[in-house]
Amino acid sequence: MPKQFANQPRSGIGLPSVLGLAVVVLWLAGAAAGTLGHPSLGMALRAIAILLFASAALRRSSLLAWTFLAMLAGVELGFDTPHFAAQLHFLGDLFLRLIRMIVAPLIFATITTGIAAHSQLRSIGRVALKALIYFEVVTTLGLIIGTLAINISGAGWGMALPASQDTTPAVQAVQTWQQTVVNLFPENIAQAVAQNQILQVAIFSVLFGVALALLPEQKRAPLLSVLQSLADTMFQLTRIIMFLAPIAAGAALAYTVGSLGLVTLLPLVKLVLTYYAALIAFCLLVLIPSLWIFRIPIARFVGAVSEPAAIGFATTTSEAALPLAMERMEEFGVPRWIVSFVIPAGYSFNMTGSSVYLSMAAVFVAQAAGIHLSLAQEIAMLATLMLASKGVAGVPRAVLVVLMATASAIHIPTAPILLILGIDALMDMGRTLMNVVGNCMACAVVARSEGALQDLGQTV
């Protein structure tokens, strides 16, 4: 085992688990006491639960822990001081404005460098083509499964939104399919960026990346270096903005609970349950059949990916698991030259967990706003997500970037996204786990299709 992972704590029930259980029990007991007519006792128990959680968050200095703490505090604030909590909506608006600010440059930088940096597509030929086709098929199936799951559960229907939030999209003129196709392509990229037309920005980025990849190395390298620096800068800016996510999540829940009461949390709980049910369905209907079709030993594969997947789940960032995932796939028998192409490319083009999340969240937003999407609108949404999701960053909560852009592109309101922000940390854990597993599986599938999967008898 690599040195950097050798000293990690072993799984088991420790102090953090006991403390977390105590927080949950105390807070639920406080909520029950308040409901049964003992408000002072209920408030005291909930306050103790929040203080215990805060002490744990201070020791861990984890963004995930702080987000959960802010969510709990936001619910409490909205429950105890609804008038004050209703004034905190501006914090969520500020966060959403910052998210919108980084959409276009982040999508442009990630898609362009994702294509141009792999100019060896021409030399590795079949492997690149197979990988890209596999990425597209799997992520499209993820989008479809997410859409079907949220339509079946209807988690967003009946969700009351505060009257101050404008949830009615502007009336749009009906366009012909020819006009729709024409409008996919920008006539002015600056205008597309200014108007936040993310699909036009994504298509321009794809064309730009292909053109850059076709240039000779000496002409491509300087611009590619600049674009890679831009991508790294946008990743860093995304991380900086995401430090505000706990505040925005807490403010969003405080405003929602203060305006509408605790009943508004039920659809969010239903959304989380629907999402993890959709991930299980994705594994059963897509991942396991793929392993079976390509004759990849399921038990050995699970053993190989379990550790990097656990790291991704715990940190809610796919990037944290990338080095170990590449090492485990080499040990599994995938040649290094395939691993070095497929896994990094997958971090831009094969975000399977993100695809399920994106389609589900977009439909949930429409349902929460009382908008009935037609089949044609859902197909258009899937087409938009199919391309826009290729720019999802591998950092926590970055799906919100694409979700905000997609909401604008398919003319659904963005206000309900603030509600999703409150439970986004829970969704992100499943998203990153599935992204890591999906990219590792893409490595094995491509290697098997090339007859290059070796040492399957080796213990991994």
Confirm if 106 and 232 have CB atoms less than 8 A apart. Answer: no
Beta-carbon neighbour count of residue 238 at 10 Å? 20
Cα dihedral 207→212→216→219 (10° resolution): 150
- Tally of helices (H runs) and strands (E runs) in the chain: 23, 0
Per the structure block, which two tokens stand in for 12?
A: 């088991």
- Of 457 and 353, the one with more pLDDT: 353
**Per-residue pLDDT, 274:** 92
Give residue 285's pLDDT. Answer: 93
The pLDDT value recorded for residue 281 is 93
pTM of model > 0.85: no
Query: In angstroms, rounded to a whole number, what is the distance separating the alpha carbons of residues 271 and 166?
Result: 22
Percent of the chain predicted with pLDDT > 90: 5
Q: Identify the residue whose tokens are 């936040």.
A: 196
Q: Radius of gyration over alpha carbons of the chain, in Å?
A: 23
What six digits make up the tokens of 378?
Answer: 């859902």
User: Average pLDDT, stretch 134-148?
Assistant: 88
User: What pLDDT is recorded for position 97?
Assistant: 79
Residue-level length of the chain: 460
Task: Give CA 372 to chain center in angstroms.
Answer: 24
Indicate the average pLDDT of the chain: 74
Q: Would the pLDDT of 124 be above 90? A: no
The pLDDT, as a whole number, for residue 10 is 42
User: Would you say residue 145 has pLDDT above 90?
Assistant: yes
Residue 239 reports pLDDT greater than 60: yes
| Predicted pLDDT at 317 | 64
Q: Residue 120 — pLDDT band, cuts 50, 70, 90?
A: low
- For 230, 368, 415, the CA distances from 165, given in Å and listed in that order, are 35, 12, 7
Is the pLDDT higher at 327 or at 20? 327
Give pLDDT, residue 282: 93
